[in-house]
Amino acid sequence: MSNYDPKTAINQEEHGNPFETLQEGIDYLMQQAKAKQYQAQVNAISTISGTTRFAVNQVTQHTDLNNISFQLKLIKGKQQASASSTQLGEIGYKALFEQVESNLLKSPEIPFLQGLPQPRAGSNADLTGKDWIMEDRAEAIVSAVNTAEEMTDEIRLAGTASANTTYYRVVSTEGIDVQTSSNYNYFKVNAITGPADGRGYGQEELYWRFDQPDIESMAEEATQTAIDTVESKLLTKDAGDYEVVLGPQAVSDLMVYIMFGADAVGFHESNSYTSDRLGDQIFDDKLTIRDMPRDPHEAIAARTFDAEGIATKNRDFYENGVLKFIPYSSFFASKYLDDKDGATGHVIGPEFGWYGGGAMPVSSSITPGDRTTEEQLAEVEDGLYVKNFWYNRFTKRREGGLTGLTRNGLYHVKDGEIQGAVRNLRYTESFVKAFGQGNIISISSDRRKFFMSHVPSIHLENYHFSSVAHTKQQLE
């Protein structure tokens, strides 16, 4: 058992001490529940974040948040109700308990409900990193803008620098009493240049925990992409199927849907790309996706216990393209597996900013490959290099079908050389097909971290683009 104390993630000198308040709330709610012989689960949460947004080369919004909240779930036999509240003090806790109790007693029985999960052995791990304070974030923004302005006068930078810390403790009448904490930081820089009716865009973003990234290099890369992609320089490629290298930002965009689309409800309702396919080869055998919530070096959305207090595990989500598990909460494990303890420890916690209770693997890490992104590009015969996607949405969940657009850098590559930037394209493609057997040529060794994934570049035989996003003529 690790000696790490998750409470140390909160910089109390900077942000105050939430732990007395959290303990008060837990004590009150559990006492009330036990007195009435309900099953109860209390989540006591402290979230601290500082977000500095900038646009047109200056800070536009700068917020500093420090919140304490509670979630209470009560179960009586086959009845269940829950609520969350940020109202503190005995008045607030009393109101929360009475509200949930009232809903509980009026709720019909849920036939498959089996109650709260049992505790499982699990240890804490140190998931903390640097606390990026507001003055340092402002300084980073100034250095990014200065870097960009050295490259070109007519540059408009926008982006975000943020620091986020989440601590939560889960206590239940079934013997669960666990706590977890993590912090992470984020930097994104978006560059725009060129005339009003033909601007170029570039963007670089990443999440980090330990070492501040090279902000100036990120600004330089984003600015260069913007310079490359002004309207007057763009080549036009027709819609169609192309060999592509998807950069890490583009891969992370698709990973969001690979994860969101793998939920238990969709699986059992035949409305997921995973339906009837557990244990099947869904993706190319070059693709191994690990779920790594306990490794702060592999995952940003890291936690040692999920929002039900179940210990998380590092495990394969896809091993050589084969689907290894479906994520369950205890509620849906009761419904679909007839066993509440089939819960897998994937219920989303407050670090996501909502209390939906959904279960999904959000700490994904694609195993690196054997060549760099530059080497991959050198191997492209005639295709496209996609830096990132924009506004991706499911068209058909059952097929893994998505649509979206390229943005912030699309390049034509021929015989291993970048020929120039290309007008943005819309894709309509299934990620099952895109990452399917035989379609992955290579996976890069270099990777980048995003909130829910740690991903490389991926070189694909084929990716379908359904239309040109727009041309200047279409506006006239």
Partner 1 sequence: MTNPNAIDPDLMQFALDQATTQDSDIEYADVKWMRRSSRSIGVKNGSVEQNTQQNTEGIGIKILYGGAYGFAATNIMTKDAIGIAAKRALRVAKASATTMRNPIQLAEEPVHVDTVATPMKIDPDDVDLAETIAVLVDASKAADIGDDRIKARSASYDHWKDHMVLWTSEGSRIDQLISVVGGAVDTLSVQGTETQRRSYPASFRGDFSTAGYEYFKDMELVENAPIAAQESVDLLEAEQCPEQNDATVIIRPAQLMLQLHENFHGAELDRALDYEAAFAGTSFLKPHLLGELQFGSELININTDATHPGGLGTFFYDHEGVKAQNQPMVKNGKFVGYMTSRETAPLMGLERSNGTARSSAYDRMPLIRMTNTILQPGDYDYQEMIEETKDGFIFDTNVSWSIDDLRLSFQFGTEIGWRIKDGEITNLVKNPSYTGITPQFWNSADAVADKNDFRMYGTPNCGKGEPGQVMYTGHGSSSVRFRDVRIGVVQL
Q: Interface residues for partner 1 in 164-193 (CB under 8 A)?
A: 188-190, 192
Number of residues that bind partner 1 (CB under 8 A): 96
* Tokens coding 150: 């050295």
Sole binder of partner 1 in the list 4, 208, 260, 355 (CB under 8 A): 355
What's the gap between Cα 404 and its chain centre? 18
**Nearest residue to 425 via CA among 474, 382, 468, 384:** 468
* Tokens coding 257: 């849907």
What are the angstrom distances between the C-alpha of 190 and each of 128, 279, 290, 296? 27, 41, 30, 27
Q: Does residue 142 bind partner 1 (CB under 8 A)? A: yes
Site for partner 1 in 385-414 (CB under 8 A): 390-399, 401, 403-405, 407
Q: Does residue 236 bind partner 1 (CB under 8 A)? A: no
Rounded-to-integer distance, Cα 180 and Cα 8, Å = 10
CB of 2 to partner 1, least distance (A): 30
Site for partner 1 in 307-336 (CB under 8 A): 331
- Looking at the Cβ atoms of 66 and 314, the one nearer to partner 1 is 66
Sole binder of partner 1 in the list 314, 367, 428, 445 (CB under 8 A): 428
State how beta strands 382-396 and 240-246 pair.
Answer: parallel
- Looking at the Cβ atoms of 228 and 291, the one nearer to partner 1 is 228
Q: Does residue 20 bind partner 1 (CB under 8 A)? A: no
Q: Does residue 423 bind partner 1 (CB under 8 A)? A: no
Q: Does residue 19 bind partner 1 (CB under 8 A)? A: no
- Looking at the Cβ atoms of 325 and 332, the one nearer to partner 1 is 332
Residues 6+ apart with CB under 8 A from 108: 79
Q: What is the DSSP letter of 198?
A: S
Give the three-class secondary structure for 6: helix
**CB-CB contact of 387 with 205 (8 Å):** no
Stretch near partner 1 under the rule CB under 8 A, chosen from 106-114, 246-254, 311-319, 320-328: 106-114
Q: Does residue 83 bind partner 1 (CB under 8 A)? A: yes
Q: Does residue 67 bind partner 1 (CB under 8 A)? A: yes
Q: Does residue 32 bind partner 1 (CB under 8 A)? A: no
Rounded-to-integer distance, Cα 14 and Cα 84, Å = 26
Q: Does residue 200 bind partner 1 (CB under 8 A)? A: no
Q: Does residue 17 bind partner 1 (CB under 8 A)? A: no
Q: Does residue 10 bind partner 1 (CB under 8 A)? A: no
Q: Does residue 367 bind partner 1 (CB under 8 A)? A: no
Q: Does residue 45 bind partner 1 (CB under 8 A)? A: no
Q: Does residue 12 bind partner 1 (CB under 8 A)? A: no
Sole binder of partner 1 in the list 23, 123, 437, 466 (CB under 8 A): 466
- Looking at the Cβ atoms of 58 and 419, the one nearer to partner 1 is 58
**Nearest residue to 289 via CA among 253, 263, 244, 258:** 258
Render the burial of 227-251: b for 16+ CB within 10 Å, e for the rest. bbbbeeebeebeeeebbbbbbbbbb
CB of 444 to partner 1, least distance (A): 25
What's the gap between Cα 453 and its chain centre? 6
Give the three-class secondary structure for 118: coil
Give the angle 356-20-28 at the CA atoms, nearest 5°: 65
